[in-house]
Chains A and B, each alone.
Chain A
Amino acid sequence: MTLLPAKIHRPVAVFCLLLLAACGPTKPPPMGIEDATRQLQAARDAGGSTYAPLEVRNAEERLSLAKAAAGKRDYEDALHFAQESQVNSELALAKSRLGKTREKVEARTRENAQLRQDLSTNPDTGASSQ
């Protein structure tokens, strides 16, 4: 615990400056940009780019529109675009869940059919297919 004072003070000072810069003139209303960003990341993590590429692209576009509007202090537009981005991400998540499960159902159906076939055509070695 022997940190040099400068090592602590410098980041703190930088942080305070940033805080001042961010909250200084007018405190912008919450626009949901952070939530939309998080939700987009969740959609990507869930395989959204594969299972719902259109929705993920919509979410990306609307998120950058929201950020641009926030930059121009057009807070109402920013809020709308963030909401539209978020709902696209949520849709991408749901579609990814559906797509993945469908794939699993198809694989399992094939596997069961194959197993049944193995058992009926070659009953003596049926269990060895496991």
Chain B
Amino acid sequence: MKLKIWIAALLLTISAAAPAAKTDLDYARLRASLSDLAADPVLGKLAPAERSLAEQAVQAVAEKGGSGDEHAHLVYLAERRVDIAYATAQAIDQERRLDKLDREHDQILLAASRHDAEQARLEAEKQRIQSLAQAEEAERLRAEADAARAQGEMSAQDAANARKQAEQTKRLADAQAKEAALSRKEAQLLAEAAAADARSRSPAAAAAPTAAASRQMVLNDSAFAAGAATLRPEARSNVAAIVAFVNRDKSKPIRIEGHTDNSGKANADLVLSQRRAEAVRDALVAAGVDARRITTFGMGQAQPVASNTTEDGRARNRRVDVILGDR
């Protein structure tokens, strides 16, 4: 009799423990999955909001386990919340990777345009040297012709040299004709060299007739909220002016440099100036400027245009330069 009671009690315990064990299994699985995510060196730092929602859903499984249907419902929700946390963290990770690839892309294009500029410069130099050589040759021929003429005058007194003089005169005429031809060629080459030179240093040379300032526009720091990298809505007209400026020649690359004064930490200023340059880039791209033309630089405190000792000077140093053409 006593034994029967014990067995009955044991059976009851087992049957009561079974669903509890199952609850623990689901909970343990979800909890382990979340811990893995939190411990992930990359994903663990991302999507904190989604992970927090998943935490709450998993906690609800443990706290309100209850009956079968209710439990299954909570597990269903928690499973998906954990999946959402994973997917969101992975998406943010991919977005960061995409940012990095975009920056790489800009750098490749920048290197390519620099390479092109270097090629054009070398070509211009070659043309210049060639034209110098041509000029020297022309000079030499002219000197030769002069000598021949002098010689011819001397031999005018010598009847025996009359025939030779005629020959020299003919040679002079030939040389003079050659000189004229070479002078024409030299002028042509110089013009070509000048054109090639202008191409190679496109911004500087093209802007040379006008002021150097005409290849650069400055957006001062009133366009930004203090310490922030977002453009104020009031800066929209400035942006429109910059868009018009960079669209004057759509073939030219655009260099956007962010600068700060020296009042902050150098590293933070580097980041801030980079973000501000990027904000200007984003505004230009939003206005239809080809993103591939644009390269952004955060210069931080490195290139002040005014003294940092006065407030006016610091205000002038906090700026974003938009430069049309490469530096």
The answer on a CB contact under 8 Å between B81 and A98 is: no
Q: Which residues of B contact A (CB under 8 A)?
A: 50, 73, 76-77, 80-81, 83-84, 87-88, 90-91, 94-95, 97-98, 101-102, 104-105, 108-109, 111-113, 115-116, 119, 292
**B104 to chain A: which residues have CB within 8 Å?**
112
Q: Which 7 residue pairs of A and B lie closest in terms of their CB atoms, listed nearest first?
A: A94-B87, A127-B112, A98-B91, A101-B94, A108-B101, A126-B112, A97-B91
Partner of A108, one of B77, B81, B105: B105
Report whether B97 and A119 are in contact in the complex, using a CB–CB cutoff of 8 Å: no
Of A101, A105, A108, A130, which one neighbours B109 at CB under 8 angstroms?
A130
- Can you list 28 A-B contacts (CB < 8 A)? A80-B73, A83-B77, A84-B73, A84-B76, A87-B81, A90-B80, A90-B84, A91-B80, A91-B84, A94-B50, A94-B84, A97-B88, A98-B87, A98-B88, A98-B94, A102-B94, A104-B94, A104-B98, A105-B98, A105-B101, A108-B102, A112-B101, A115-B105, A119-B111, A119-B112, A126-B112, A127-B116, A129-B112
Contacts of B90 in A (CB 8 A): 98
Whole-angstrom CA separation of A6 from B90 in the bound complex: 58
In the complex, how many angstroms separate the beta carbon of A117 from the nearest chain B beta carbon? 11
Please measure, in the bound complex, the distance between the C-alpha atom of A88 and the C-alpha atom of B101, giving whole angstroms. Answer: 31
**CA–CA, A124 and B112, complex, Å:** 9
Q: Which residues of A contact B111 (CB under 8 A)?
A: 119
A101-115: CB near B (< 8 Å → 1, else 0) gives 110110011011001
Please indicate the chain A residues that have their CB under 8 angstroms from the CB of B91 in the complex.
94, 97-98, 101
Please, which residue of chain B has its CB at the minimum distance from the CB of A109? B101
Q: Is A44 an interface residue (CB 8 A)?
A: no
Residues of chain A within 8 A (CB-CB) of B83 are 91, 94
**Which residues in A have their C-beta under 8 angstroms from that of B116?**
126-127
> What is the distance, in angstroms, from A60's C-beta to the closest C-beta of chain B?
15
Contacts of A80 in B (CB 8 A): 73
In whole angstroms, what is the CA distance A94 to B82 when docked?
11
A67 within 8 A of B: no
Residue contact B87 to A91, C-beta cutoff 8 Å:
yes
Q: Is the CB of B108 within 8 A of A115?
A: yes
Indicate if the CB atoms of B108 and A116 lie closer than 8 Å: yes
